[in-house]
Chains A and B, each alone.
Chain A
Amino acid sequence: MSYEILGITVLWIFLYGYLIVASIDFGAGFFSYFAHVTGKKHLVQKVIERYLNPVWEVTNVFLVFFFVGIIGFFPETAYYYGTSLLVPGSVAIILLAIRGAYYAFGNYGQKQNSLYIFLYGASGLLIPASLSTVLTISEGGFMTVTDGKIVFLFSKLFTSTYSWSVVLLALVSVLYISAMFLTYYAAKAKDDGALIIVRGYALGWAPPTILCSLLVFFAINQHNPGHYANMLSLSWMFVASFLCFLIAIYLVWNKTAYGWAFILVMLQFAFAFFGYGASHLPYVLYPYITIHRNITSDAMAISLITAFIAGLCLLIPSIYLLMRLFLFNAGYVQGNSKKGD
């Protein structure tokens, strides 16, 4: 495998990781706020908090990892995306900052504060919308280069059917992924009160998710027909994604195997996300940056890949430890962790 394919694959895996963990996080924040407003907070709050407390900081790292990695492997992206994304990027930073900080303020500062919960919950929905702009721009057509100067076409972005369908998809899939995870987590915590509520969220957000996916699929055809043709040649991946979706919903509907249901949700998004990514190649930013033309030097690619492997050797055992202690620790999940487990 060439360095550029290896590089983009690694980065895409990380972006996928971010998609899953961040969706759980963003959605959980919103549900937590929603439950607070509708007076059901006491039922779901505990499950959400117990999951989020030890992992919120880790989530953020996936994102940092991706954008540092892409600049390392494909330095041209810094130039094109950097210039064009100043406004949406800054908005995303501000939202991320508000969300991260107010999460900590609300949870570790002693008293629960309604304003903090609102800021945390609302920003969770706006961040996916602003981050998804990057994927929209990558399809091309939203910037022009004249005399070596990049001009970003805001009005085009705001009036494009495609960009709005991506935003919509980002929003609903965040809520869907999160609700499916919380359903699994609540079942594991044997918290029936929470389970009833989050299962309702999961089933409720399933139809919009699949509708929005279809919408995006056809909007790409209008916006970038070449990409659409590539997607059709990989159509088995999107079919597989849809099948995973059906089985997951079936399982949740029948109130069985919530763990498998969530794994199927992850597979559903994996197939769709990697299908989308693979069909996007060789472009990183259509039509300016391809993975072949603007890759970094071999020396840097080798050292990045080495660093990446070394890093993984450190991270995988640590993540395993984190999961053992919190996510997959029956005592902790059920809220009765005591000494010696």
Chain B
Amino acid sequence: MAYDPVLYSRMLTELTLGFHIIFATIGVGVPIMIALAEWTGIRRGDPYYTLMARRWARGFVITVAVGVVTGTAIGLQLSLLWPSFMRIAGQAIALPLFLETFAFFFEAIFLGIYLYTWDRFKKPITHFLLVIPVIIGSSMSAFFITTVNAFMNMPQGFKLKDGAITDIQPLVAMFNPATPTKVSHVLASSYMTCAFILAAIAAYSLLKKRNNLYHRKALKLTMTAALIFSISTALIGDLSGKFLAKYQPEKLAAAEWHFETANKVPLVLGGILTKDNEIKYGLKLPYALSILAGDSPYAKVQGLNATPVNERPPLFVHYLFDSMVTIGIFLAFLSMLYLWMVRKFKNGKYPRWLLRLIVWSGPLAMLGIEFGWVYAEVGRQPWILRGYMKTHEGATTSTHVDLMLVLFCLLYFVLGFTAIKVLSKLFKNSKVHEELIAVGIEKEGDEPR
């Protein structure tokens, strides 16, 4: 492969972001789940939930550390790999970037306090209150950074004249049309993913040790949250589709292989595309795309042919979009199924196939996040600033990007590997049952309830 700084810059950015969003998602969603558990524990006077919050928080720190360092990496890489882009965009999006660090700062301070004050206050509610700034900090930093990404999709609030940028309106740039749907979809899907990840851990433990009360409680809490979050994610996803139809029709058209502008457009699931853009083997849902895009079976949907050939996104994004949506729908149904089963199996002996499905739900949800982001990002190619700057105009001209790519590959491999090792060791070394005995909830010799 010939050396091409643009290609390598794209690969390195994809690699860093792809790795970072795993930990960023956990960083946004898990504090909510920790708070839910601690709150339930206080409200019901049930020490099982308090222990749950504690154990989750312990693992959470490890993921936060990796999230922080990879977040620092992407922050610096923006300027290192895309200097020409940052020279223009840096002026328009400095505000949300700056605010994001404040939110991060706020979260960092209170996370430190939260972790080291479990036994320091007389009233448990005082400690619970400390998790709220952590939630605010993590969700706000997701909010601000997503407005930056929304700006890249819908740049506004500035004028570009001969490469110079003027008339900047920071708030107009920040609250662009893509911001509401993007931010809410990111937040809801992060909450949902974390609920499923923690549910997966509980289900995994239940598969090994049937009918353990702690894990049953954990499963019920996480799956209930998962249901609410997955339904909100789906509803917001629908709004995102309508946003695309209105503002970024080429992205939606590429996702749906929709070429000719028309009414009553079907939605295509799967399939392959022939050389002359004919869809084969796909499952066509009549009117569905019109409903998705315009709320009516007769709505007109702009096709890809309306976009100049050199401004069209690659067509493989169809599969990413399909996978994301399929995963989302499957997970929403799974959480409904679980809640229905809870009522049926009051003794807590859920069928093993259900637990196995829930174990898969965690990784699947994370995969859905990855697919969604790759779709969102590749779907706006060839633009780095849609309508203003092409991706190749923003990249560095430096001659060492390929070497850096190799170094970062190694780094993420080592970090990922150690994080998994440390996390699994952390929980293997401290069994729930032993901890329950240590805090006096269960007794030695008891069968785990």
Contacts and interface: CB of A to CB of B under 8 A. Distances in A.
A319 B396 contact: no
B99 A325 contact: no
A101 B415 contact: yes
Interface string A300-338: 100110011001001100110110011000000000011
B61 A71 contact: no
Contacts of A73: 94
Interface centre among B71, B86, B94, B415 (most CB of A within 10 A): B94
Interface in A151-167: 152
B109 A322 contact: yes
Contact of B168 (A300, A314, A319): A300
Contact of B76 (A84, A89, A101, A314): A89
B113 A300 contact: no
Interface string B81-98: 111101110111011011
Given A60-B68, A100-B65, A307-B95, A339 B400 contact: no
Contact of B104 (A61, A92, A307): A61
Contacts of A239: none
Contacts of B403: 87
Which of A81, A101, A304 has the largest count of B CB atoms less than 10 A from its CB? A101
A64 B75 CA distance: 8
Nearest to B166: A297
Interface stretch (A49-57, A223-231, A280-288): A49-57
A263 interface: no
B369 to A, nearest CB: 21
A60 B72 contact: yes
A48 to B, nearest CB: 15
B315 interface: no
A196 interface: no
Among A81, A100, A111, A152, the one with the most B-chain Cβ atoms within 10 Å of its Cβ is A100
A110 interface: yes
Nearest to B5: A86
Interface string A82-109: 1111110110111011101111110011
A319 B122 CA distance: 22
A75, A93, A307, A341 — most chain B CB neighbours (10 Å): A93
A105 B418 contact: yes
A207 to B, nearest CB: 34
A216 to B, nearest CB: 25
A221 B159 CA distance: 43
B65 A101 contact: yes
Contacts of A102: 418
B230 interface: no
B91 A86 contact: no
Contacts of A65: 101, 105
A109 B86 CA distance: 38
Interface stretch (B276-284, B378-386, B419-427): B419-427
Contact of A81 (B69, B79, B81, B407): B79
A213 to B, nearest CB: 28
A68 interface: yes
A79 B415 CA distance: 30
B297 interface: no
B406 to A, nearest CB: 11
B405 to A, nearest CB: 10
Contact of A72 (B95, B408, B411): B95
B170 interface: yes
B422 to A, nearest CB: 4
Contacts of B334: none
B340 to A, nearest CB: 38
Contacts of A83: 83, 396-398
A319 B120 CA distance: 18
B65 A90 contact: no
A200 interface: no
Contacts of B91: 72, 75, 296-297, 300
Given A61-B104, A97-B73, A82 B169 contact: no
A322 B113 contact: yes
Contact of A110 (B77, B81, B430): B430
B72 A63 contact: yes
A135 interface: no
Given A68-B97, A90-B407, A340 B80 contact: no
A79 B165 CA distance: 14
Nearest to B415: A101
A303 B97 CA distance: 12
Most buried by A among B83, B407, B429: B83
Contacts of B112: 53-55, 57-58, 322, 326
Contacts of A58: 105, 108-109, 112
A93 B108 contact: no
Given A71-B90, A83-B398, A101-B65, A311 B415 contact: no
A67 interface: yes
A78 interface: yes
Contact of B86 (A75, A101, A111, A304): A75
B98 A109 contact: no
A181 to B, nearest CB: 18
Contacts of A150: 397
Nearest to B418: A105
A299 interface: yes
B72 A78 contact: no
Nearest to A106: B422
B60 to A, nearest CB: 10
B117 interface: yes
B62 A82 contact: no
Nearest to B100: A68
Contacts of B68: 57, 60, 100
A84 B199 CA distance: 46
Contacts of B401: 86
Given A109-B426, A303-B171, A321-B113, A93 B95 contact: no
B246 interface: no
A60 B67 CA distance: 12
Contact of B426 (A108, A318, A341): A108
A78 B400 CA distance: 18
A297 B88 CA distance: 12
B363 to A, nearest CB: 22
Given A97-B69, A101-B69, A104-B62, 19 more contacts: A72-B91, A75-B86, A78-B87, A82-B82, A83-B396, A83-B398, A84-B398, A90-B77, A90-B407, A93-B73, A100-B69, A105-B422, A108-B61, A300-B170, A303-B95, A311-B105, A314-B106, A318-B109, A339-B121
Nearest 4 pairs of A and B residues by beta carbon? A72-B94, A104-B65, A82-B83, A78-B86
22 contacts: A57-B68, A60-B108, A61-B108, A68-B98, A78-B79, A78-B87, A79-B84, A79-B86, A82-B82, A84-B398, A85-B80, A108-B58, A108-B65, A109-B422, A109-B423, A300-B92, A300-B95, A311-B99, A311-B105, A315-B109, A325-B113, A325-B117
Interface of B: 58, 61-62, 64-66, 68-73, 75-77, 79-84, 86-88, 90-92, 94-95, 97-102, 104-106, 108-113, 115-117, 119-122, 133, 165-171, 396-398, 400-401, 403-404, 407-408, 411, 415, 418-419, 422-423, 425-426, 429-430
